[in-house]
Amino acid sequence: MAKLAFLGLGVMGAPMAGHLQKAGHEVTVYNRTEAKAEDWVKTYGGAMAKTPRAAAKDADFVIACVGNDDDLRSVCLGEDGAFGGMTAGAIFVDHTTVSAAVTRELYAAADDAQVSFVDAPISGGQAGAENGQLSIMCGGDEGAFDRALPIMEVYSKICRRIGDSGAGQMTKMCNQIAIAGLVQGLSEALHFAEKAGLDGRAVVEVISQGAAGSWQMENRYETMLDDKFEHGFAVDWMRKDLGICLDTADETGASLPVTALVDQFYKDVQKQGGGRWDTSSLIKRLRAMG
């Protein structure tokens, strides 16, 4: 069993760290809001630290799941950052969805500190984290990935190295690009069914068994029909991710017309007060249009 630090105890990080503790690892957690760390220790055991550096001291692996580029920099760098507390040869695994640019920046900073850095963004939502069924897409050195793989397998159903540093984040962008188009298409199909006077559940029962079937359809159609949107990844976070996708597309020369359009649709949902609704709430925008 390994000595681990886990930084960030949000809706994803808390259950992921819990799986590691339950698996027998020695886990020390850090969270910016200290009360969440205290609650986690009460629930799972383990220990908590007041800074990322203190949590990372003597850890074999330091794992992060925070909010954005700036949050990740803050837990890695500086006097209280994790890199300052890590021992040579330790591995930092980042599950945050961030830009490939900050990933490569921190990969270089980790190398200077004689530690390894694996970018490992995740997909599967809160339910995937709670059930230990996440998909993890990784970038970084092959040796570091191989060492970290048994740790990540505790809470994943698939975990693959895609390539060098930044490749994991680029793959997560592909994931979000695909989801954006799927959710908009599903929203339009269900909205059309409603306007046509069809039974939405009967419609999905049939079309989900053909080429239209998807994870989004299987897991979100009922709550979408019931106008309930508290079941997954929030619109605010999706817009953050799509912003990363669109900025990177500008850098690489990729064309993402549908993604850019759906990003604006999510902006409309935010204006409806739906920033914390899950991403399937795109259908509410269509309903509001009449």
Indicate which residue of 22, 36, 42, 172 is catalytic.
172
Terminal Cα-to-Cα distance of the chain (whole angstroms) = 57
Query: Token digits for 160?
Result: 């693959």
In the chain, the amino acid numbered 30 is: Y
Helix (H) or strand (E) holding 137: strand 134-139
How many of the other CB atoms lie within 10 Å of CB of 187?
A: 24
State the alpha helices, DSSP H only, in the chain. 13-22, 34-44, 52-56, 69-76, 82-85, 100-112, 125-131, 142-152, 167-195, 200-207, 215-225, 235-252, 257-271, 282-288
Active site residue 36: no
Q: For residue 283, give Cα distances in angstroms to 192, 218, 241, 258, 274.
A: 10, 16, 20, 16, 11
How many of the other CB atoms lie within 10 Å of CB of 244?
A: 22
Residue positions annotated with a catalytic role: 172
